[in-house]
């Protein structure tokens, strides 16, 4: 062996030793951090993005979650992973001429989707605006609280996730923790959300909400029928949003806000079905989308029923 190659070999050797020594503290810290975790927690920590999981892996994860939640909340939990069905694109329409601003939808949503009661998270915000000013966000009020609604000279515009076809929240997410599923619902994998809140900054509708504190829901009020990408219990530090009640609509039911609305202002259906309620509205009523100029292309439409 010539001297040059010998010295190179030596250098390589020392390099690899040096590399190993350099990595040692990192490994030590990592090991210490994971040392206190149970095997399930370690598995959950290294869990792949939900979109890339196989059917078997999803089943396993869902089963573990059901067990975990059932133990934590003391009742039988179901965590569904029902995927989107071909030929369905969900759309929503809200009748601005009929909404009376009673906020029943806000609280039906909180209950159905296990939003934190304290600190408070509301996926739906109802804006009160003056009829003579039209849709004027500068003067809109979400804290209105009169004796009775509707108030003279005012109209009400509930705002929630607009389920954009061109969702800015999705394009800014650095971890691909949020995406638009095949049926048009923009969903969040809470396990992959790192809480950077870029999506909240990108959303022009204020539709995304951050868990600043550990979510607080009384055990007896928790809704145990959940979907992995929807209303399953969240943790501190993740972003959440309206999913059109993914756990309901993928099983054929109307969203909770549609079911509760006392004026029947809220309409929901399949945009690809020409006989659906939603298509009738788009074809026969005066329809607008909120902040059209931003080219977010919402699948949430506002219309005038009269």
Partner 1 sequence: MNINLRSEKSRKSDITLFICNFKIILFSCIFLFFNSCSRDNSIIEGNEENRTLPEIMRSDVINQGDSLYAVKAPPFSEDIFPCSGCHADEEPNPNRRQLVDMHDDIDAIFSHDRENRWCLDCHSIDTRDSLKLASGKLIGFDESYKLCGQCHGDKLRDWKVGIHGKRTGEWNGKKQYLLCVHCHNPHSPKFKAIKPLPPPVQQKDIQL
Q: CA 245 to CA 227: how far, in whole Å?
A: 9
Q: Tell the residue number behind the tokens 């690899």, with chain if given.
A: 16
Which strand (E) or helix (H) includes residue 105? helix 104-112
Name the residue nearer to partner 1 (CB basis): 114 or 116. Answer: 116
Q: CA 252 to CA 256: how far, in whole Å?
A: 12
Name the residue nearer to partner 1 (CB basis): 65 or 260. Answer: 260
Please, which residues bridge with residue 287 across strands?
303
Where along the sequence are the contacts to partner 1 (CB under 8 A)?
85-87, 100-104, 106-107, 119-120, 122, 125, 142-150, 212-213, 249, 251-254, 258-259, 261-264, 267-270, 273, 275-277, 280-281, 285, 305
Q: How far is the CB of 103 from partner 1 (least distance, A)?
A: 4
Name the residue nearer to partner 1 (CB basis): 152 or 293. Answer: 152
Q: How far is the CB of 207 from partner 1 (least distance, A)?
A: 14
* Integer angstrom CA distances of residue 127 from 27, 122, 142: 51, 13, 5
* Integer angstrom CA distances of residue 199 from 188, 196, 232, 250: 11, 8, 20, 25
Q: How far is the CB of 241 from partner 1 (least distance, A)?
A: 16
Among 209, 201, 202, 200, residue whose Cα is nearest residue 236: 209
Name the residue nearer to partner 1 (CB basis): 107 or 192. Answer: 107
Q: How far is the CB of 274 from partner 1 (least distance, A)?
A: 10
Q: How far is the CB of 268 from partner 1 (least distance, A)?
A: 5
Q: How far is the CB of 216 from partner 1 (least distance, A)?
A: 11
Name the residue nearer to partner 1 (CB basis): 77 or 90. Answer: 90
Q: CA 68 to CA 127: how far, in whole Å?
A: 38
Name the residue nearer to partner 1 (CB basis): 101 or 298. Answer: 101
Q: How far is the CB of 166 from partner 1 (least distance, A)?
A: 24
Q: Do residues 108 and 260 make contact, with C-beta atoms less than 8 angstroms apart?
A: yes
* Beta strand 266-270 pairing with 90-95: antiparallel
Backbone angles phi, psi at 272, to 5 degrees: -90, -5
Q: How far is the CB of 164 from partner 1 (least distance, A)?
A: 20
Name the residue nearer to partner 1 (CB basis): 40 or 251. Answer: 251
The phi-psi region of residue 113 (left if phi > 0; otherwise alpha if psi is between -120 and 50; otherwise beta) is: alpha
Please, which residues bridge with residue 180 across strands?
186
Q: CA 251 to CA 270: how far, in whole Å?
A: 13
Among 61, 116, 302, residue whose Cα is nearest residue 205: 302
R_g of the chain, CA atoms, integer Å? 24
Name the residue nearer to partner 1 (CB basis): 7 or 85. Answer: 85
């Amino acid at each position: 062996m010539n001297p040059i190659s010998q010295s190179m070999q030596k250098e390589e050797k020392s390099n690899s030793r040096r590399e190993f020594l350099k990595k040692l503290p990192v490994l030590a810290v990592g090991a210490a951090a994971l040392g206190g975790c149970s095997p399930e927690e370690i598995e959950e920590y290294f869990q792949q993005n939900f979109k890339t999981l196989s059917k078997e892996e999803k089943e396993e994860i869902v089963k573990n979650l059901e067990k975990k939640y059932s133990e934590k909340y003391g009742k039988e939990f179901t965590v569904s992973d029902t995927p989107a069905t071909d030929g369905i694109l969900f759309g929503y329409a809200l009748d601005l001429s009929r909404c009376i601003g009673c906020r029943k939808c806000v609280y039906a949503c909180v209950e159905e989707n296990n939003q934190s009661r304290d600190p408070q998270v509301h996926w739906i915000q109802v804006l009160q605006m003056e009829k003579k000013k039209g849709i004027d966000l500068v003067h809109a009020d979400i804290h209105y609280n009169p004796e009775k609604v509707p108030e003279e000279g005012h109209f009400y515009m509930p705002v929630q996730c607009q389920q954009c076809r061109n969702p800015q929240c999705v394009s800014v997410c650095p971890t691909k923790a949020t995406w638009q599923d095949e049926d048009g619902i923009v969903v969040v994998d809470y396990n992959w959300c790192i809480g950077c809140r870029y999506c909240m900054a990108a959303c022009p509708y204020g539709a995304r909400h951050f868990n600043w504190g550990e979510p607080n829901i009384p055990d007896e009020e928790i809704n145990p029928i959940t979907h992995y990408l929807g209303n399953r219990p969240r943790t501190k530090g993740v972003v959440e949003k309206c999913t059109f009640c993914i756990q309901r609509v993928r099983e054929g039911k109307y969203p909770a806000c549609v079911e509760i609305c006392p004026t029947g202002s809220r309409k929901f259906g399949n945009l690809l079905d020409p006989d659906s309620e939603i298509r009738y509205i788009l074809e026969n009523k005066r329809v607008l989308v909120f902040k059209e100029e931003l080219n977010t292309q919402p699948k949430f439409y506002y219309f005038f029923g009269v």
